[in-house]
Amino acid sequence: MRPFPPLSPITVAGGATSCQAKWHRRRRAEVIVLPEFFRGSALACINHETARQDSSMTGSGPDIMPDAGPLIPAGFVAGTQIATPDGPRRVEALGPGDAVRATDGRTLPVLWCAETRLRDAPEAARPVRIKPGTFGAREGLFIAPGTLIVVDRRDAALVPAGWLAEGGVPGLRVARGQASPVYHHLLLAEHAVLDTGGVLVTPFYPDAQARQALDPAARRSLHFLMPKLQGAERVSDVTRAYAPPAHPCLSRDEFALLREDAAMIAPVGPEAGAA
């Protein structure tokens, strides 16, 4: 069978038609299709023996957040500067009712905050250090491995910091010496991209995995605030109970494909207008 070219027209669900897509052959009878944009529909797996060029494809994107490995929700260590209408503030100084400034210019109140305290944490649960100059960082930044960072010059897709460090992206590494980290979590009125010292990230998103990772007291307080989150297992459920994710979240397969194209994972900061 003649191999697929690097780009082929396809039709995806959601009304986007005739987009360009990359076709990646993974195994003997499977091809991964990665649309050139990352807007909801993720990878589609098809049988290369029956697939045809210029064919139409439909299907819904994954309705779960990416499995970031250790169950550590998006969070920041003490001292992380969060953009607010009155200038940067340390994350530990923020609480319910305080306002933060999203990168799209919106002012959003903090609805809920909590901490995750770990002792003798496994390496995969320790903070990820972002070196100054990486992804727009103005100084060194430490974040939870499950914190989603905006990557990709062409579209604001999200990738867990832990994957970037694990994948050897320059400027990120696991802070192995921080065995007992304390992570601060912020839930905003809507999920949004924040400027944390120059790095574009998203705060806590209350999907099922993130809620399960909270300590019981924090989880109870969140469910008391938003009772409709109880039993919300899929992103569509969380969207109805709270809000949709700020941007699409890549799966591990998608991230692996991005790593093959190094130009697609590049430092993105406020000055690049990435959000």
How does pLDDT run across 135-153, given as a tens digit for each residue? 989 999 999 999 999 986 4
Query: Which pLDDT belongs to residue 88?
Result: 96
Instruction: Give the Cα separation of 128 and 176 in Å (integer).
Output: 9
pTM equals: 0.72
Predicted pLDDT of residue 167: 86
Region 192-199 average pLDDT: 94
Residues 6+ positions from 204 with CB-CB distance below 8 Å? 73, 74, 75, 185, 186, 187, 210
227 against 250, higher pLDDT: 227
If you ran DSSP here, which 8-state letter would residue 92 be given? G
Q: 87: phi > 0 → left, psi -120 to 50 → alpha, else beta; which?
A: left
Tell which wins on pLDDT, 55 or 179.
Answer: 179
Contacts of 159 (CB under 8 A, 6+ apart): 148, 149, 151, 249, 250, 255, 258, 265
Q: Which CATH number is 81-272's, of 3.20.20.70, 3.40.50.1360, 2.60.40.1510, 2.170.16.10?
A: 2.170.16.10
Per-residue pLDDT band for 61 (boundaries 50, 70, 90) equals: very low
Please name the helix (run of DSSP H) or strand (run of DSSP E) that holds residue 238, with its range, or none: helix 235-241
